[in-house]
Amino acid sequence: MGKFNRNTVTYISVDELKSLKEVALLDTRKKEEYIISKIENAIWVGHKKFRIDSVQKIIPNKNTPIIVYCSIGVRSENIGEKLLQAGYSNVKNLYGGIFEWKNKGNPVFDNQNNQTEKVHAFSKHWGKLLTNAEKIYSTKSKNLEENFR
């Protein structure tokens, strides 16, 4: 993962994240990926549709520990940079993203907060990095969007 990133946002490992109690977890993937599964209590903020003002409403305290994640950690680094530029002082990027989280046997949850084995694998290329989940590659976005509301 590191070769695709600029290391501008400090990494946190899956094990380190599991040891934290109070943290804001932000999912920076596409909404259709988030709807398939997410790390428990994660808040969707998106990537291309990311808006810093939305985060400022949810997390007004700029010292709040924030962990950003995506599939493997590239998109989340971009969002982490934006958070740091906006004055958030405690932002970390989950190394390996949700793929690493699931590969290490940790639970993910669907849109109804039920545990699931499904993870959106983004593409066949990147999906090779996901080894411990039922890989989902395409979704009927309109149906998912309706279920998301």
Q: What is the pTM of this model?
A: 0.88
Residue 50: phi and psi, rounded to 5, are -60, 135
Torsion of CA 75, 81, 82, 85, to 10 degrees: 180
pLDDT digits (tens, 9 = 90+) for 89-146: 999 999 999 999 999 999 999 999 999 999 999 888 888 999 999 999 876 544 444 4
- Token digits for 107? 């639970």
Cα–Cα distances in Å, from 44 out to 13, 31, 132? Answer: 20, 7, 23
pLDDT digits (tens, 9 = 90+) for 19-76: 998 999 999 999 999 999 999 999 999 999 999 999 999 999 999 999 999 999 999 9
Domains delineated in the chain: 2-148 (3.40.250.10)
- Token digits for 60? 């007004």
